[in-house]
Amino acid sequence: LAELMGCDMLIIQNLEKTSNPFAGLISQAKDLTAIQLIEYLEKMDRYDVVDDTIALMENDLYLASRQSSLQETKQDIPQIVTIGDQEQFSEDGTLVQYDAFVLYAREDQEFVNTVVKKIEGEYGMKLCLKERDFIAGLPFEHQAVTELISNRCRFVLPIFSPNFLNSEDNKFVVNFSEALGIERGCRKIVPCVYQQCDLPKSVRYYTRLDFTRQNPYWDFWDKMKKSLADPYAPPSERTDKTNVSNTENKTEQKYLAQLSPKGDLPEKSKSYPENVPP
């Protein structure tokens, strides 16, 4: 199905590693219609799937037609993903901007607690942790994560360890963030090695924070703070509040459009501060 929708092998391989590849594919294919899905299934000779789901799709289309006016009203309302979004949106109509999205394995929670204590408690920066900050009831978690990383997190802070690499979902987010950084021509990933492990090949070429190799000549936590506070980060990802009318990011659409049968990719662009060479 992904091949019929025009996805390249990298996207397909990443989807295959997730817990629910089909749900991930459908949730990201924003331009896919019910008619197109049926046509693809018929090309695959999966008439059994069409027969099993046609009634459900018809019911969804009926409900969608009844709520069309309500959906038009909601188009200008941004997706509230975190508890902080709820609180801030009710106060001034804006969403929270984060310095970094922390990606980690649950087994490493104790170290992550230390990261939060240092970076938020002592340095006053704002981190986003899925388990702590995401509101319950989000229909598509992968979509919420990618949109948040694309639009409202300056960096992604993956905490590498053997446990981290056991999660295919974590690897998918790292790959997505790498592609985003390459497209924007800026740093997007700040790798942090908590425990020695076999890093992904692409990450091995990054300079990184290594908790296992602390040195008296430099402070690990101070270096993490300065790495997350890069003054040359794109302005759209800085920690000031974002306007609700600009929650969609074209760069994210370019990457995710590969999941859409008709997605037109926007032109590649780079963002650098004035008078600073790339």
pLDDT tens sequence across 115-165 = 999 999 999 999 999 999 999 988 888 888 999 999 999 999 999 999 999
Residue environment code for 214-231, b if the CB has 16+ CB neighbours within 10 A, otherwise e: eeeeeeebeebbebbbbe
Does domain 83-254 sit in CATH 1.10.10.10?
no
Cα separation, 262 vs 5, whole angstroms: 8
Check pLDDT > 50 for residue 247: no
- Residue 198 burial (CB < 10 Å; 0-12/13-18/19+)? exposed
Residue with tokens 């987010």, as numbered in its chain: 173
Residue 112, phi then psi, degrees to nearest 5 = -60, -40
| Tens digit of each residue's pLDDT (9 = 90 or more) over 60-105 | 776 766 666 455 544 445 688 999 999 999 888 899 999 999 999 9
Which is nearest to 156 in space by CA: 85, 210, 205, 228? 228
The pairing of beta strand 98-103 with beta strand 192-193? unpaired
What are the domain boundaries of the chain? 9-76, 83-254
